[in-house]
Amino acid sequence: MRTDRIVVGMTMMLLLALPAAASDYTLNVFGNANEDETINMQDVTYTELIILEYRDETELADAKHDDKINMQDVTQIELTILGKEKELTIVDEPGDAVTVSKPIDTVVYVGHNAFVYETWRALGMADRLVGTTDRFVKPGGYRYSEKYYPELLTMRSVGTLQEPDFEEIVDIAPDLLYTDEVQYDVKSMAANKIPGLPVICMDIDPAHFTENTRITGYIFDRRDEADEYIDWRNGWQDTIEDRTEGLSDGERPLVLMSYYTPGSNEFSVRSGDSPFHPMIVGAGGKNIGEDLSGYVEVDVEWIVDRNPEIIVFSVANTYCGYDFDDPSELAALYDDFMSRSDFAGVSAVVNNNVYFINYAHLCVGGASGTITEAYMGKWFQPDLFTDLDAQVMHQEFLEFQGIDFDLSEHGVFVYPE
Amino acid sequence: MKLKLRLNDVTFSYTSTPILEEITMELAESEILGIVGPNGAGKSTLIRCIDRILKPEQGSILLDGQEVTEMSMIAIAKQIGYVPQSSTGVFPATVFDTVLVGRRPHIGWRSSESDEDKVWGILKLMDIEDLAMRDWGELSGGQQQKVLIARALAQEAGVLLLDEPTSNLDIKHQLEVMEIMTDLVAKRGLSVIMAVHDLNLASRYTDRVIIMKDGKIFDAGSPSKVLTTENVGSVYDVEVDVINRNGEKPYIVPIRSVRGSG
Amino acid sequence: MNMADGTAVRTDRREEYRRFVGRKITFILSSLILLVIIFGVAASIGSSDTTLWAAYSAFLHRFFPDHFTTSWGADTIVWNIRLPRIILGILAGISFGVAGAVMQGVLRNPLASPYTLGISAGAAFGASIAILLGFGFVGGEYLVIGNAFVFAMLCSFVIIGLAGRKGATPETMILAGIAILYVFSACTSLLQYFADPDAVKDVVFWTVGSLGRASWPAVYMLLVVVVVCTPILLIRSWDLNVMTAGDEAAQSMGVNVKRTRIITISLASLLVASTVAFTGTIGFIGLVAPHITRIIIGGDNRFLLPSSCLVGAVFLLAADTVARNIIAPTIIPVGIMTAFMGGPLFLYLIMKRRREYF
């Protein structure tokens, strides 16, 4: 005990002299006193310095989240470092501090997108899910898949995103209610209907993949698994973006990313502030919609005028995905577009640089978004990525997901291959 | 004869063109005053001004010596009943309930037993008790008119204003309505002003007649004084024959319209 | 006919009238009883496995803690999930029912409703701004609610402003309402056109109407509005009766038509705007509840207004109970269910009716 104190004291002296480490993001977990990317002994020291008034108070230094910074917070940080904390307070996407009691064994997910659940599977804690929304569970739902989510086929439904069935949730009585949907205000509904139930609202989109996956690791006591998953995904991400980073505008093909409805003369364009823009840029393309903002639909003329060199259409699960082995439906969609007379002169069509890629499983974020970036890198910069195989990354991803699925045998995700 | 109502220099206009110009007239107690004149002469407007549905620009209207424009709407409603020219029932209402509505000036927000008794009395007076539970919209034109008169009677007002009560009625109902009015005046001492299209009905059933043209009173007096060949001819631009037997009301026989005269 | 016969006829008619009034009172009482029964049913069934006894025990526990036991689950389900929803449904039904009846009466038009007067469209536009642009007059939990309310009131002000103008007839007000309806629908469509399809789905969901956002605070807020506005409208039922005779006839009977119209439409709009803000546009009830009531008990507003409140409440609560349970745990938005259940019922009544009603 005495030696501990001495070590702490010495560290403190050292740290007093050091500036706070610069970091890309702040891990939004209470106890991260110095507001860096992790919780470690530095935070213990930092908090002690705050108590001694050598440092200004930080919000996250209040590890016990009781509006007081004292030695209890130091103890809490030490427990958190050891992974033995009884309670943990995090800041979620709407900016609320949410306190959860550990361990969290059961969780209901009022889910919109797949990346949260994919992250849970990758962290090896998907079995704690005890109920989720219709869209994952009901045939025809946007996220329903027999082969990709076999364990969800028998999962208990808690109704729709817009109006979750809170009676079901009360019956389940989970340790935590989790949602990735800010829009529908699930949080305030839940607060009114099930007071006392902790609700976390947090997505794991590409832009916040690292920090949110790390927070997930803290919440569910899967920190090592989270780090492993983050390293794997960021490894691929860096591999791709290191090669495209230095490309000049002239070296980047002009890319239209959209989705295709046969017969439609209006096309949505991924604007400069959409989550797809960084994916296009990262893959070595120049986004045709980079100067636009918000959700934009344009007509054929707009596209023909700009003459994109590459067109990427994302496609719903009704044409492709894990449940398909036969690409004929996707091929028919491709043929329908390629035979359009209005696009006949566009260079992407002339040079056969039109690609279709699955939307629900690949494009929409988390680690799976990087798979799309890998595919697109091959299409945009074939010379830079001769040695890269997007399918290899995809197969590694499936290992994280714990799905026994051979991509060389099954599934339709891109066309033409 | 006691004076019931007096109008002094009443002028009214919607726009710059006056609809009524300096109307001065009187109504005695227990008198039926007929207002005749061509379409657009201002008959309905005059009636509506008297009931203050329209507000005259100038002039005074004295009811029992009291200025009508200074009375509250409820006070006016207790003293003047109004039977509109046309009424359409959008929603179903029984005859009884329709007449009960006429009790509005006398009750707050709910009717009492005595209000209902009064309505039954009026239905009996008008001989429409049997229709009490029928829907007003289902009745014939004559029956509907009687119900509307009954509604105005339910107000228990001393003055009754009727705007063309006999239009759209067959000859039997025309006579019936007119007889009801004379009867009411005789039994209840009501003072009645009615705008009438049919000159012969006016001649036969009114005590006095006002003939109007272009918002002004052209002539006023007893039917035999007012309904002359000359008056009717110049007010309506028509050629008529007036049969005026001694001691009887004049009878007007239309001959032809005078075109292009002016 | 001699005197005795005449008196007999008169007594008969009086007896008939008394029975007629009796029927209306019976209807009001039976609606009330029906509402209580549906309340009981709605409180005891749901997707939860909570048993009937557990639900009632949890309910009674708050009143007689010594005699009834409860559990966290049953207590939460009854007191936090079902009761606020049921009461919000009843309040919404009352407010749509009375507002629809008043608007129809005061404008003498069977097509008048919160929807045709553009109030719902205004609310939908306000909600769209909140959902699609994130802009609102109040923030947080009440972003959408606040916006919907403000824009619904804005639309009513236009209508009310028009009512105060010289020469405004009920017809011009209805037409103005329809014009407002189109303008705001177009504004909403324009916003939707430039919006992310995912967010548009939220707007559509809001537009359909649901009781999913029921909470005690919502119930209290709406309760205040309903408790204040409804009695004032009920007291005005005599004036509404008079106004069905026509503006001029009503004036001659001592009713200040313009003022009455402004007061009643303002109160009805306030009711609708407050309700729609919490529930979304469940507009159909505002149109149909007064008509169904009128077909059954006639057009006397003294009975029509309270009955229409009750019919609206019974109808909305029944529809929501079905919507919650028919394919549980998926909850069908109550706005869809009211149209599904109300449409055919309304058609049936129109075809069965014995007399001309509108």
Q: How many CB pairs under 8 A join A and C?
A: 92
Using CB atoms and an 8 Å cut-off, which of residues 181-220 of chain B contact chain C? none
The superfamily (CATH) of domain A243-415 is Nitrogenase molybdenum iron protein domain (3.40.50.1980)
Cα(A338)–Cα(A347) distance, integer angstroms = 12
Inform me whether the C-beta atom of residue B136 falls under 8 Å from chain C C-beta atoms: no
Cα(B172)–Cα(A334) distance, integer angstroms = 84
Q: Are A385 and A377 in contact (CB under 8 A)?
A: yes
Q: Are C291 and C346 in contact (CB under 8 A)?
A: yes
Edge-to-edge strands, sheet with B191-195: B80-83, B159-163, B191-195, B32-36, B208-213, B216-221
Q: What average pLDDT does this structure show over C275-291? A: 87
Give pLDDT, residue C54: 86
Q: Which of B20-29, B89-98, C33-42, C196-205 is predicted least confidently?
A: C196-205
Is B91 close to C244, i.e. CB distance below 8 A?
Answer: yes
Q: What average pLDDT does this structure show over A19-36? A: 78
Nearest CA in chain C to A96: C140
**Three-state secondary structure call for residue C224:** helix
pLDDT confidence bin for A4, thresholds 50/70/90: low
The superfamily (CATH) of domain A107-221 is Nitrogenase molybdenum iron protein domain (3.40.50.1980)
Which residues on C lie below 8 Å from A184 (Cβ)?
202
Mutation site, C12, C25, C252, C257, interface B, largest B CB count within 10 A: C252
**Three-state secondary structure call for residue A176:** strand
pTM: 0.85
Q: What average pLDDT does this structure show over C208-236? A: 92
Q: Which of B54-68, B102-116, B193-207, C313-327 is predicted least confidently?
A: B102-116
C-alpha distances in angstroms, A215 versus A64, A207, C327? 16, 14, 36
Is C215 close to A192, i.e. CB distance below 8 A?
Answer: yes
pLDDT confidence bin for A21, thresholds 50/70/90: very low
- Mean residue pLDDT across chain A: 89
Q: C296-313, pLDDT tens digit by residue?
A: 888 889 999 999 999 999
Cα(C170)–Cα(C155) distance, integer angstroms = 16
pLDDT at A183 over 80: no
Is C252 close to B53, i.e. CB distance below 8 A?
Answer: yes
DSSP string over A247-312: --GGGSPEEEEE---TT--EEEE--TTSTHHHHHHHTT-EETTTT--SSEEEEHHHHHHH--SEEE
CB atoms within 10 A of CB A68: 9
User: Chain C interface residues facing chain B, Cβ-Cβ under 8 Å?
Assistant: 6, 9-10, 13-14, 16-17, 20, 104-105, 108-110, 235-239, 241-242, 244-246, 248-249, 251-256, 294, 298-300, 302, 355-358
Q: Are A158 and A165 in contact (CB under 8 A)?
A: yes
- Mean residue pLDDT across chain C: 87
> What's the token pair of residue B85?
């020219």
Is C6 close to B135, i.e. CB distance below 8 A?
Answer: no
CATH 3.40.50.80 fits domain C102-281? no
**Three-state secondary structure call for residue A40:** coil
C-contacting chains (≥3 CB pairs under 8 Å):
A, B
Using CB atoms and an 8 Å cut-off, which of residues 93-112 of chain B contact chain C? 93-94, 96-98, 101-102, 104-105, 107, 109-110
Cα(A301)–Cα(A266) distance, integer angstroms = 10
Cα(C321)–Cα(B11) distance, integer angstroms = 63
Chains B and C touch (3+ CB pairs under 8 A): yes
Give pLDDT, residue A213: 94
User: Any idea where the domains of chain A sit in the sequence?
Assistant: 2-85, 107-221, 243-415
Give pLDDT, residue C1: 44
- Residue showing tokens 């037409």: C175
Q: What average pLDDT does this structure show over A22-31? A: 82
Is C298 close to B104, i.e. CB distance below 8 A?
Answer: no
Q: Are B201 and B252 in contact (CB under 8 A)?
A: no
pLDDT at C60 over 60: yes
Give pLDDT, residue C8: 64
Q: What percent of chain B has pLDDT over 90?
A: 38
User: Any idea where the domains of chain C sit in the sequence?
Assistant: 102-281, 282-353
Give pLDDT, residue B119: 92
- Of B205-209, C12-16, C191-195, the range with the highest mean pLDDT is B205-209
Give pLDDT, residue A141: 81
Nearest CA in chain C to B73: C254
pLDDT confidence bin for A17, thresholds 50/70/90: very low
Give pLDDT, residue B260: 55
CB atoms within 10 A of CB A296: 16
Q: Which of C47-61, C67-81, C344-358 is predicted least confidently?
A: C344-358
Is C13 close to B132, i.e. CB distance below 8 A?
Answer: yes
Give pLDDT, residue A414: 94
B87 vs C9, C245, C356: nearest CB: C245
What ipTM goes with this model? 0.85
pLDDT confidence bin for A22, thresholds 50/70/90: very low
Which residues on C lie below 8 Å from A194 (Cβ)?
76, 80-81
Q: Which long-range contacts (CB under 8 A, 24 or more apart) does C185-194 make?
A: C185/C121, C185/C124, C185/C125, C187/C125, C187/C128, C188/C121, C188/C124, C188/C125, C188/C128, C191/C125, C191/C128, C191/C129, C191/C132, C191/C133, C192/C128, C192/C132, C193/A297, C194/A294, C194/A295, C194/A296
Q: What is the CA radius of gyration of chain A?
A: 24
Chains B and A touch (3+ CB pairs under 8 A): no
Give pLDDT, residue C53: 85
CA distance C130 to chain B (A): 40
CB atoms within 10 A of CB B245: 9
Q: Are A413 and A361 in contact (CB under 8 A)?
A: yes
pLDDT at B140 over 90: no
Q: Are A21 and A36 in contact (CB under 8 A)?
A: yes
> What's the token pair of residue A109?
């997910």
Give pLDDT, residue C358: 44
Q: What average pLDDT does this structure show over A201-223? A: 91
CA distance C322 to chain A (A): 14
Cα(A375)–Cα(A369) distance, integer angstroms = 10
Q: How many CB pairs under 8 A join B and C?
A: 116
Q: A294-337, pLDDT tens digit by residue?
A: 878 899 999 999 999 999 999 988 899 999 999 999 999 999 99
Run of H or E including C199: helix C197-208
Which residues on C lie below 8 Å from B81 (Cβ)?
252
Which residues on C lie below 8 Å from A195 (Cβ)?
76, 80
Is A162 close to C205, i.e. CB distance below 8 A?
Answer: yes
Give pLDDT, residue A18: 46
CA distance A89 to chain C (A): 21
> What's the token pair of residue C226?
């309903």
Q: Are A193 and C76 in contact (CB under 8 A)?
A: yes
Domains of chain B, each with CATH number or no CATH = 3-87+155-257 (3.40.50.300)
pLDDT at C65 over 90: no
Mutation site, A156, A167, A175, interface C, largest C CB count within 10 A: A167
Nearest CA in chain C to A193: C80
Going by their DSSP bridges, the two strands B32-36 and B208-213 should be labelled as parallel
Which residues on A lie below 8 Å from C140 (Cβ)?
188
pLDDT at A11 over 60: no
- Domain A107-221 and domain A243-415 have a common topology: yes
